[in-house]
Amino acid sequence: MAICNTTCAPDLPSSYSGGCGIQTRPGGIKRLWFVKCDYDFTNIALDSEWTTAQGAGDVVGSGLLMGQKAKGSFTKKRIASCMPEGIIGAEKQITFQDYNTDTVTSPGPGCLAYTFWNQILTQASNYKLVYETCDGYVYGPINDFILEIDEVIEDNNTGSTYFDGTLMWNDIEMACPAYIAGGITPA
Per-residue pLDDT for 108 more than 70?
A: no
Q: Is residue 102 in a domain?
A: yes
Phi (first) and psi of residue 85, to 5 degrees: -60, 150
Q: Is residue 23 in a domain?
A: no
Lowest mean pLDDT among 23-27, 31-35, 89-93, 136-140: 23-27
How many structural domains are present in the chain? 1
Q: How far apart are CA 132 and CA 65, in angstroms?
A: 10
Per-residue pLDDT for 1 more than 50?
A: no
Q: Is residue 9 in a domain?
A: no
Domain that holds residue 64: 29-179
